[in-house]
Structure 1
Amino acid sequence: MPDPYKTLGVGRLATADEIKKAYRKLAKKLHPDLNPGDKKIEAQFKEISAAYDMLSDAEKRRKYDRGELDDNGNPRHPGGFTAGGPWGGARAGNGGRAKTAKDFGLDEDDNDEIFKDFFGFGRGRTGLKMRGADVTYRLEVDFLDAVLGGKKRLGLADGKTLDVTVPAGTEDGAQLRLKGQGMPGQGGAPNGDAFVEIGVKAHPFFERDGFDILLECPISLNEAVLGGTIEVPTIDGRVALKVPVGSNSGTQLRLKGKGILNPKSKQRGDQYVRFVVTLPRDGDADLERIIRDWAKAHAYDVRGKFGLKTS
């Protein structure tokens, strides 16, 4: 082993705390448990561990500084002969087993801290302690369940089911977090979380625009010309709406407060109803005759803004 001071990267006047700090910094990178199967890293870890084993022991350090111990911690004998193998007496006294944090002057909290700093988890006295993995699901919900809120059943990875509360106003692509519903933790660590991505199904006639609802509503020719009161659907149910006399396709009315709840402002948006004048599906001979006679005496321009003449 090289000079233990050089191995840990500290000076000969380094304090015990500085030596401990240097060892822990190197151990975070070189710990075998963090680099499984890497023989080179394992050899380097043995070197820094042996160096720390020597320098963290005040008596061994004094003997090394006086030249009574070689770089491996073995006693120097007259003529330059040293006893023991490359790991010295400390290795033999350890029964050949892998050294623990206590062997290197570290308590369990110190060793655990190496793992926490590196991975964000620690190791308990009974083995690896690791938070469970997060999992992601996708849940398809109906339009009205998303805008009004409700409960939907979700199948989990372990075969269980869970009732998920979908908040009112949930948008397509929104993600819900279910704390602790992910994969189990190890060694007593907490479970991971489940993240549920919401997919909102299209509605047959409602369309969402922010927190407003858009609705295209067909009206008959007589309703467009003469006006009247009709029923229109909202996300809360049907409401009465007055059609103004002479309404065209594209005429738009607002139903205040009939939109979607904004979870931040706690205010609801509006619903906008856009009229589409709709003629009889199969045509009507009487209507054609009446309109033909009416048009002869009541021609009017509707495309003048295009610079085109109405026929």
Structure 2
Amino acid sequence: MGVARTASEADIKKAYRKLAKELHPDKNKDNPKASERFSTVTQAYDLLNDKDKRARFDRGEIDGDGNPAAPFGFGSGAGNPGGFRPGPGGGGFQADGPDLSDIFENMFSGSGGGGRGGFAGGFGGFGRREQPKGGNVLYKLDVPFIDAVAAKPQRITLGDSKTIDLKLPAGLESGAQVRLAGKGQPGPGGNGDGIVTINVLTHRFFERVGDDVRLDLPISLAEAVLGASVRVPTAEGAVMLTVPKGSSSGKTLRLRGRGFHRKDGTRGDQLVTLMVDLPADDAALTEFVEGWKDSDVRNPRAGMDV
């Protein structure tokens, strides 16, 4: 992530947000390398944002992927017992397979030996140690844009075929991860966890701007000139919006509290930009404008020095 080993939590978060915006898959649809790096940066942020994992990484107990440093030269297995399990109705929920980062987590944490290996009296016997938990299982979940705005729970099917309703966290962004305690692989010391990485899908007319939702709203010439009360779509249903008299294209109105949920309990807004939609080849409108002398007395581009 390009931060120093002594970087603060604020520095790490700032670096992650900058890289996430640059590398987000929605902005790099033709650049698979950017998507790969986005995943790597997200994984690094998850590690550095966890105080326990960061401390273990600094001590050399785990690598940058969160996996324990391989003891006695053991490598990682090539198998992938995971697989794709769609949610009910074909939802975009996918299991990527087990995360083996926890299998060796406590292998050498015994109390009998004096060194990091945890052996009692050298190689003569093992000290007491905790039983390792099963590996974590990684999942990917595609969340519809309007569900993400409204923080609507997502029904998903896990690797054990059990169905749950996943509550979406406040401050949700693509790349965010949700930990499901005990929903991973079984092990002698208990189950590992399920790690769900969320991808917020794009929408055909809504757009995210920070915590706000932006919408271009077509209005008629009569509605713009005379003013009107019009229906406007939001993530939680249509609402009425008052268009002021004499509104021009580009005028932006605000629907408060219709944006994304924030971690502090507040919400962003929906920004509605008016776009005057003129009919094509309207004889009556053409005749009216030809007899209208506004262009002779007013220059709408005067502020541009032309």
Which sits farther off after the overlay, 237-246 or 157-166? 157-166
Matching of residue 291 in structure 1 with residue 289 in structure 2: yes
Shift of 1:198: 0.5
TM-score norm. by structure 1 comes to 0.55
2:271 corresponds to which residue?
272
Alpha-carbon separation, structure 1, partners of 2:131 and 2:220 = 70
**Preserved contact between residue 252 and residue 273 of structure 1 (Cα < 8 Å):** yes
Partner amino acid, structure 2, of 1:287? L
CA 161–218 in structure 1, closer or farther in 2 if over 3 Å, else same? same
What is the RMSD computed on CA atoms of the aligned residues? 3.2
Structure 1 292/299 Cα, relative in aligned 2: closer, same or farther at 3 Å? farther
For 2:72, the equivalent position in structure 1 comes to 35
Query: Is this contact kept in 2: 1:146–1:169, CA < 8 A?
Result: no
Q: Deviations over 1:262-294 (max 9, x none)?
A: 23x2122222211111111x3211111111111
In structure 2, do the counterparts of structure 1 residues 269 and 114 end up closer, same or farther at CA, with 3 Å as the change threshold? closer
Question: What pairs with 1:1-311 in structure 2 (closer than 5 Å)?
Answer: 35=72, 110=112, 129-158=131-160, 160-167=162-169, 169-185=171-187, 188-263=188-263, 265-280=264-279, 282-295=280-293, 298-308=296-306
CA distance in 2: counterparts of 1:220 and 1:134, whole angstroms: 55
Distance 1:114 1:258, change over 3 A: closer
Q: Offset of 1:124 from its aligned partner?
A: 9.4
- For 2:116 and 2:298, the matched residues in 1 are separated by 86
Aligned 8 A contact 2:248 2:276 in 1:
yes
Gaps of 5+ in 1: 1-33, 38-107, 118-122
Q: CA deviation at 1:109?
A: 5.7
Q: Quick one: structure 1 residues 169 and 205, their matched pair in 2 at CA, closer, same or farther if it must change by over 3 Å?
A: farther
Structure 1's 114 and 173: CA in aligned 2 closer, same or farther, altered over 3 A? closer
Deviation at 1:301, TM superposition (A): 0.7
Higher gyration radius (CA): 1
SS for the counterpart of 2:223 is helix
Between the two proteins, the alignment pairs up a number of residues equal to: 196
Q: Distance in 1 between matches of 2:295 and 2:150?
A: 52
> How far has the Cα of 1:163 moved from its partner?
3.6
Q: Which amino acid aligns with 2:230?
A: I
Aligned to 1:73: none
Alpha carbons 1:148, 1:167 under 8 Å: kept: no
Deviation at 1:179, TM superposition (A): 1.1
Q: Is the 8 A contact 1:132 1:182 kept in 2?
A: yes
**Cα offset, 1:256, TM superposition:** 2.1
Does structure 2 retain, via aligned residues, the 8 Å contact 1:216–1:275? yes
TM-score by length of 2: 0.55
Which has a greater percent of helix?
1
Counterpart in the other structure of 2:81: none
Residue aligned with 2:241, SS: strand
- Give secondary structure in 2 for the equivalent of 1:240: strand
Structure 2 gap ranges (5+): 1-70, 75-109, 120-125
